[in-house]
Structure 1
């Protein structure tokens, strides 16, 4: 079976369903082509070793990767974001029309634009496709403050429904997403829940690495990921700054559109225990996580995020570290079920402070929490388990 995988995000950018996933699919007997663009996320600059051009082909152990032009921008400008998505959509569609015809298209990221490419391609060539829903659009746009309800919201909603209607199967990352799509009228038998996994789950870390995190504190909490509106880290920073336990610091690793505002906020409130390390590549991030005492997850207090499972949860569970989870809903419940840390209410400074204090009072349990998290990950969220489900979905389409 020949698969065409379309994603605007792909290795060497951090991507859960990236090259490792496709190489696993290849081992299962699938032939794989990829259409993507030149790596630039999250910095908005093309990665070293690459140069934006109309077309480039790479081979990675039998997986053919076709990189196409897109307008590269990660600014706050809605026009720039739109040009980024639309330019890739046009380039990717033209590439799909030129390369060898697939049996199935797997539309990954972002699912609205890649799903629209696959929908149009289906109309032209009758090729079935699977769309992988990592964000519920247009709800995600309103939840992050990117787009208010109105004409644009309505248009995006109709395009999403068009993609869902035309897709042969829809892969979602949580039960909450599945229920939300059912409420939108999508048939339940069309939707398959597949937890995301940690892209680097097999990578081991040498414990003798030099110290990468700030010193001078008894306990180091680490947040690693995008610094955007959805992550809403201002209240997290305030909670750590307010903590009476001055032997605790928060290290923020990553970049994004709100990075400058967060640094300014930390300075304004006089936080002495908050450190910003900037962007760290996906190849190095595990070394930083291995030196943390507790890992932090936070999303803005929005109904949509209470039914999502942030991808960093899998990375954190896999790393065998205790977790401070402040997302709410399904994500908080996972940490509770796994007994892998302590939960707090998102955007609630007092609740986050209480979680910090509880974790410190249970520091003798941190090692056990980490082991519990790893066990839960291996049983429910590993790449092997996820690939097996997706293989079943694709083979079902072939029958």
Structure 2
């Protein structure tokens, strides 16, 4: 029977004895020096006593160019500054994000990860293969190869729903192709010993695909501890303009409903309100053109900044903005920026539907607006700006406390290790 089990905090056996250190191989096409949530998760696992290594591609996100010091066709092992090993395999760079180039980027990691990854790790033994499954889910095929070769438990952490995310972003519209992707997704899921999902809303969708073949458990994305502790606005390289600054931080892509943000900006008459877009993505050029064409003096396209600078940038904000398109699939998604926003201790404007909006309301951390409601978003910005400062500070503090209770990295890392032990036990029982 398919089941959802609760993760516990402890790392000890029933007798009270401490279990051995888990040897974990993280599989993630994107990894440091690229900025992804899995970077912090690896650090947290190591702090909780796991021996962690990573299999990744050559860094090229988001600009689509291979980072300096790396080669698209290079492969080998490097040591992260923190002391753990990163095994790199070749990838076709994303380029400017065209469909064909992106497909080759995805497929190249699957092919070289499955062929060269085992060679790079030929002397290694692992207890758990942990796949960080942002789109595409194809990375799970690499995990399945390692499960067979290494005999380790295979855990997939699902970050995006397939094929729903492909359909909602318009990447694939053909019904026959979407059905084929769903069958492939089911094939990949069934090769796992455990599926983790970043949103409870994913569970029903995935159960419909895998049936009772694989257990599923909820495991949210953590936020960043430094944001919850201290961040000095004065030390940031980006100085926000004087006034009430609403900061959007992260990927500037199709899913983020950026038309809604620009439409909201065009409705705002208060000259003190400024929307600052920090990040980059497939719609960066479109945004730049639209800001100029609409003559939106209250929208600033600030560009992308290193992850270590983001706490100081967010600390300068008057409010933080998160938006998503209106769709059934996105209504089930929790954007990874939400835990980070909560940790920052600033009021949140959430223009989206579903589980993510419910988190903001439950945390009393800001104002929620239905997805793609530009008038509602503009009114919420004005309303928040006109609130007493004490009310805004109370929202920020409530968000920070909610972060500590639900999204702090250390407790979530301990729960993740517990998930690993469950998966490892399940695999061992299946072999008896």
The question of a shared fold, defined as TM-score above 0.5 by the shorter chain, is answered with yes
Q: Does 1:317 align with 2:342?
A: yes
Aligned to 1:395: 421
Aligned residue number for residue 128 of structure 2: 104
CA RMSD of aligned residues (A): 2.0
Q: What's the CA shift string for 1:24-70, capped at 9, x where partnerless?
A: 32344432221101222111122344443421312234421111110
Of 331, 335, 354, 2:379 maps to 354
Q: Distance in 2 between matches of 1:36 and 1:370?
A: 36
**Post-superposition CA distance 1:167-210 (Å, at most 9, x none):** 10011111101122123344397111111012454673224336
Q: Which residue of 1 aligns with 2:13?
A: none
Deviations 1:195-228 (A, max 9, x none): 1012454673224336733424x21111111111
Matches within 5 A, 1:24-43: 24-43=44-63
Distance 1:165 1:188, change over 3 A: closer
Give 1:139-158 correspondences, 5 Å limit: 139-158=164-183
- The whole-number CA distance in structure 1 between the counterparts of 2:30 and 2:226 is 19
Distance in 2 (CA, whole Å) between partners of 1:389 and 1:74 is 37
Does the 8 Å CA contact 1:318/1:373 hold for their aligned counterparts?
yes
Counterpart of 2:363 in structure 1 is: 338
Alignment partner, residue 27 of structure 2: 6
TM-score, with length taken from structure 2: 0.86
Separation in structure 1 between the aligned mates of residue 68 and residue 392 of structure 2, nearest angstrom: 38
Count of matched residue pairs: 397
Contact preservation (8 Å) 1:23, 1:63: no
Query: What CA distance in whole angstroms lies between the structure 1 residues aligned with 2:392 and 2:71?
Result: 45
Tell me which residue corresponds to 2:162.
137
SS in 1 for 2:138: helix
The change in CA–CA distance for 1:283 and 1:361 in structure 2 (over 3 A counts) is same
Native 8 Å contact 2:324 2:371 kept in 1:
yes
Tell whether the 8 Å contact from 1:134 to 1:172 is kept in structure 2 after alignment.
Answer: yes
Contact 2:158 2:196 in 1 (8 A): yes
| 1:294 maps to 2:319 | yes
Q: What CA deviation, in whole Å up to 9, does each residue of 1:301-350 have, x standing for no partner?
A: 11111111001101111111110001111111111111111011111111
Judged with a 3 Å threshold, the aligned counterparts in structure 2 of structure 1 residues 210 and 86 are, in CA distance, closer, same or farther, namely closer
Contact 1:165 1:186 in 2 (8 A): no
Closer, same or farther in 2 for the Cα pair 1:294/1:23, shift >3 Å?
closer
Which residue matches 2:301? 276
Gaps of 5+ in 2: 1-21, 426-432
Matched, 1:75 2:106: no
Partner in structure 1 of residue 287 of structure 2: 262
| Separation (CA, whole Å) in 1 of partners of 2:255 and 2:67 | 25
What secondary structure is seen at the aligned counterpart in 1 of 2:203? Answer: helix
Q: Distance in 1 between matches of 2:57 and 2:403?
A: 31
User: In 2, are the aligned partners of 1:211 and 1:291 still within 8 Å (CA)?
Assistant: no
Q: TM-score, with normalisation over the residues of structure 1?
A: 0.93
Distance verdict in 2 for CA 1:121–1:210, change over 3 Å = closer
1:305 corresponds in structure 2 to: 330
Give the aligned partner of residue 153 of structure 2.
128
Give per-residue Cα distances to partners, 1:102-128, cap 9 Å, x unaligned.
Answer: 222111133612211122443455433
Query: Within 5 A, what are the aligned runs for 1:351-390?
Result: 351-364=376-389, 365-390=391-416
Aligned partner of residue 183 in structure 2, secondary structure:
helix
SS in 2 for 1:163: helix
1:241 paired with 2:241, answer: no
**Alpha-carbon distance change, 109 to 35 in structure 1, aligned in 2, over 3 angstroms:** same
Offset of residue 91 of structure 1: 1.3
For residue 38 of structure 2, give the secondary structure of its aligned residue in structure 1. coil
Structure 1: how far apart are the matches of 2:356 and 2:114?
35
Higher RCO (C-alpha under 8 Å, 6+ residues apart): 2
Distance (Å, rounded) in 1 between the aligned partners of 2:46 and 2:188: 26
Q: CA deviation at 1:245?
A: 1.7
Q: Deviations over 1:337-364 (max 9, x none)?
A: 1111101111111111221122123242
- Corresponding position: 1:178 with 2:198: no
Q: Secondary structure at the match of 1:3?
A: strand
